[in-house]
Amino acid sequence: MDEQKPAQKIIISGASSGIGFETAIYLAVQGHQVMALARSGGKLANLQQIILGLNPEAKIYPIVFDIVNDDYAGLQDIIACEWGKFDILINNAGELINKPFGLTDTADFAHMFETNVLGHVNMVKNLYALMQKKSHILNIGSMGGYLGSVKFEGLSAYSVSKAALHNLTECLAKELQVYEISVNCLALGSAQTEMLEKAFPGFESPVMAYEMGKYIADFALNGHKFYNGKILPVAGNSL
């Protein structure tokens, strides 16, 4: 970690697998304090073991938490007790439904919105008052929800929910600027994860999950110095 850059206190959701997993590892090993949220205690224990194996002095706080259904009072208490205030919120948790539009129902769309939008609304509403001035909220979007990008069959519910997250980013950037909180969104293309395999079975991405995780980590640490309210595509091609 850059010696001139103080350790940041960072919360990341969806940290038990894929890009969130790799982002949490990179940040914690570099010396930042990381609260890693996910629904799977077993996967979080694995994350903690890997991080401490790479850096025994790392500050990693694995917390089993469902951003849609769990009570935020307990999470607020943990943050206040451990840190008081924190610096960065990475809204990474999400799910994907791969189903032709003709076979989807309103429940599929509702589930995508609940997980990919309302869960992040919950996170921001309940945690922004605990953020430092000049802090950063980073939403993890998708090229599927990026205006003008190529769209793919089977991903309508997922893509529409991500488009809503992108718009929410712009709205929050305006409303939270009074608290000196910047809000940005990275619309990710492909990276080799379980979610990519679910969306495009058999497709191999040229970008590994750990590479995307490092990019997200670096942007979370520095992107708000240059951007606010921006949805930035992170893709070398249509995927």
pLDDT tens digit sequence for 205-237: 455 677 889 999 999 999 999 999 999 999 765
Domain map (residue ranges) of the chain: 9-232
Stretch among 65-69, 121-125, 200-204, 223-227 having the lowest mean pLDDT: 200-204
CB 185 within 8 A of CB 230: yes
The residue assigned the tokens 């206190």 is 9
What is the spatial distance between Cα 95 and Cα 199, in angstroms, rounded to a whole number?
Answer: 11
pLDDT over threshold 90, residue 121:
yes
The residue type found at 218 is D
What is the spatial distance between Cα 201 and Cα 194, in angstroms, rounded to a whole number?
Answer: 10
**pLDDT per position as a tens digit, 54-67:** 999 999 999 999 99
pLDDT band at 4 (very low <50, low <70, confident <90, very high): very low
**pLDDT per position as a tens digit, 157-166:** 999 999 999 9
Question: CA distances (Å), 92 to each of 15, 89, 153, in order?
Answer: 8, 9, 23
pLDDT band at 203 (very low <50, low <70, confident <90, very high): very low
CB atoms within 10 A of CB 164: 19
pLDDT over threshold 60, residue 199:
no
Residue 234 CB partners (closer than 8 Å, separation 6+): 186, 187, 188, 189, 212, 215
Q: Which fold has domain 9-232?
A: Rossmann fold (3.40.50)
* Percent of all residues in the chain with a pLDDT value above 70, rounded to a whole number: 88
pLDDT of residue 211: 86
* Percent of all residues in the chain with a pLDDT value above 90, rounded to a whole number: 79
What is the spatial distance between Cα 7 and Cα 157, in angstroms, rounded to a whole number?
Answer: 38
**pLDDT per position as a tens digit, 127-171:** 999 999 999 999 999 999 898 888 888 999 999 999 999 999 999
pLDDT of residue 153: 86
CA geometry: angle 53, 215, 50, nearest 5 deg = 10
pLDDT of residue 150: 82
Residue closest to 224 by CA, chosen among 17, 10, 62: 10
What is the spatial distance between Cα 171 and Cα 162, in angstroms, rounded to a whole number?
Answer: 14
What is the spatial distance between Cα 93 and Cα 202, in angstroms, rounded to a whole number?
Answer: 23
| pLDDT mean over 178-190 | 91
Question: CA distances (Å), 146 to each of 83, 123, 125, 167, in order?
Answer: 35, 22, 24, 10
Alpha helices in the chain, H assignment, sequence order: 18-29, 41-54, 72-82, 106-113, 119-127, 156-176, 194-199, 209-222
Residue closest to 130 by CA, chosen among 62, 76, 170: 76
pLDDT of residue 151: 85
Residue 149 CB partners (closer than 8 Å, separation 6+): 143, 187, 233, 235, 238
**pLDDT per position as a tens digit, 26-46:** 999 999 999 999 999 999 999
| pLDDT mean over 13-25 | 93
pLDDT over threshold 90, residue 192:
no
